[in-house]
Amino acid sequence: MPSPSPFPRARTAIAGIATYGLGETPGFSSIELAAKAGLAAVADAGLMLRDVDALFICLPDDFFAGLSFAQYLGLSPRFTDNNRTGGSAFMSHVATAAMMLDQGYIDCALIAYGSNQRSGGGKLATPFKSNPWEAPYRPLFPVSSYALAAARHFHEFGTTRAQLAEVAVAARAWANTNPEAFATGPLSIDDCLSARMISSPLSVRDCCLVTDGAAAIVMTRTDRARTRAKPPVAVLGAAAATWYSAISQADDLTTTAAAESGARAYAMAGIGPHDVDVVQLYDAFTINPILFLEDLGFCPKGEGGRFVSGGRIGPGGDRPINTDGGGLSCAHPGMYGLLALVEVARQLRGEAANQLVRAEIGLAHGNGGTLSSQATVILGGPATI
């Protein structure tokens, strides 16, 4: 069996980025929000909609979104992809688009997402009955699955609720200086510890927001992206890994498939964790960044709780994480993955609300299901091309 072709490091790039309607946007459907972001990203790339010949879309309320989105935009794309692995889908879209662009199969890819979860009356936690092995325990989907992972991390490594609270407090601090963020205002460790419990040990402050919103990116080959008005953001590596669907099938509740996707993405990019300046981690729950920091090699397994303590990942810390406020305080319109990619691209273009002094290499990590599917994308600024 032949070995896989090398990943096209830096041969494709993000040329356009956009968000739309983060927070509350009543009166819009999910596809309308996605289209608004998509059109803005195409314009940001200095291209025309007719230049787009591949659509990558995942909508929360349309299993045929690839068809619907093409029709809505009036396009007849060469290729559509409607990956439904949850919040990691968009990082997988980047991997697919990069390889297809490099091979000349497509010339311009639009990756978009939109959701009216908040204005449509959606909730974060709902009763879960579809898995017969978990249903007898009456879990709340998806929060109880993440609570299970958090409880195991507590048991094995001594992680505490106060350390989870550090993640939420850091996210809020970033959000307070981001005009797009939905949740702002004071938030302390004590506020988190005294918050209403949802699924022990996770309280309401450990859970992501429920918002509306949309995001989109446009990808093309790097030589073409260089001719656009905005600096190209090179795709240096992208990898995904799925280990299970239901959390009850996990071999180890404290290790995720990020350990696999991250290692492969680093190898493609030719870098290691120490080379990454900007880190955006899918933070649907406060346990997520702790697990992903460990699995992506930023700290040893079991050290995540201590790693995030003392304001280290917040403004002024030496390892800034989720500089837009993340899903915990900026926005979480059903899925956050594409917003993570947009924030890394903004940082590498020097356009972020909370712009870091050094931003040459960035990592965006997506999570799907109940820690089921993980995907990692490594991006680089103009100096890496």
**How does pLDDT run across 57-97, given as a tens digit for each residue?**
989 889 899 999 999 999 999 999 998 899 999 999 999 99
- For the cut 90, the answer to whether the pLDDT of residue 1 exceeds it is no
- For the cut 70, the answer to whether the pLDDT of residue 365 exceeds it is yes
Per the listing, tokens 């794309």 go with 77
Mean pLDDT computed over every residue of the chain: 95
Give the Cα-Cα-Cα angle 49, 351, 8 (nearest 5 degrees).
60
Distance CA 336, CA 344 (A): 13
How high is the pLDDT of residue 3? 44
- Residues of the chain with pLDDT > 70, as a percent, come to 97
* Strand partners of residue 379: 235, 362
Per the CB < 8 A criterion, the answer to whether 77 and 181 are in contact is: no
* Strand partners of residue 366: 375
Residues 239-259: tens digit of each pLDDT: 999 999 999 999 999 999 999
- For the cut 50, the answer to whether the pLDDT of residue 127 exceeds it is yes
Residues 6+ apart with CB under 8 A from 100: 54, 79, 106, 109
* Strand partners of residue 377: 238, 364
* Strand partners of residue 374: 241, 367
How high is the pLDDT of residue 120? 85
Between 348 and 133, the more confident residue is 348
- For the cut 90, the answer to whether the pLDDT of residue 219 exceeds it is yes
This prediction has a pTM of: 0.96
What is the DSSP code (8-state) at residue 364? E
Distance CA 191, CA 185 (A): 12
The strand ranges marked E within the chain are 12-23, 54-57, 79-81, 108-115, 126-127, 140-141, 197-199, 202-203, 212-221, 233-242, 278-281, 361-368, 373-380
- Phi/psi for 20 (5° steps) reads -155, 135
Give the Cα-Cα-Cα angle 364, 165, 297 (nearest 5 degrees).
35
How high is the pLDDT of residue 121? 80
- For the cut 70, the answer to whether the pLDDT of residue 128 exceeds it is no
Q: Taking residues 143-172, what's their average pLDDT?
A: 98
Per the CB < 8 A criterion, the answer to whether 61 and 53 are in contact is: no
Distance CA 133, CA 20 (A): 39
How high is the pLDDT of residue 2? 42
Per the CB < 8 A criterion, the answer to whether 369 and 85 are in contact is: yes
Between 165 and 385, the more confident residue is 165
Per the listing, tokens 């290692």 go with 263
Q: Taking residues 270-282, what's their average pLDDT?
A: 97
Q: Taking residues 170-194, what's their average pLDDT?
A: 98
Q: Taking residues 172-199, what's their average pLDDT?
A: 98
Per the CB < 8 A criterion, the answer to whether 225 and 78 are in contact is: no
Per the CB < 8 A criterion, the answer to whether 33 and 23 are in contact is: no
Banded pLDDT at 17 (limits 50, 70, 90) = very high
First to last CA, the chain: 32
In total, the chain counts a number of residues equal to 385
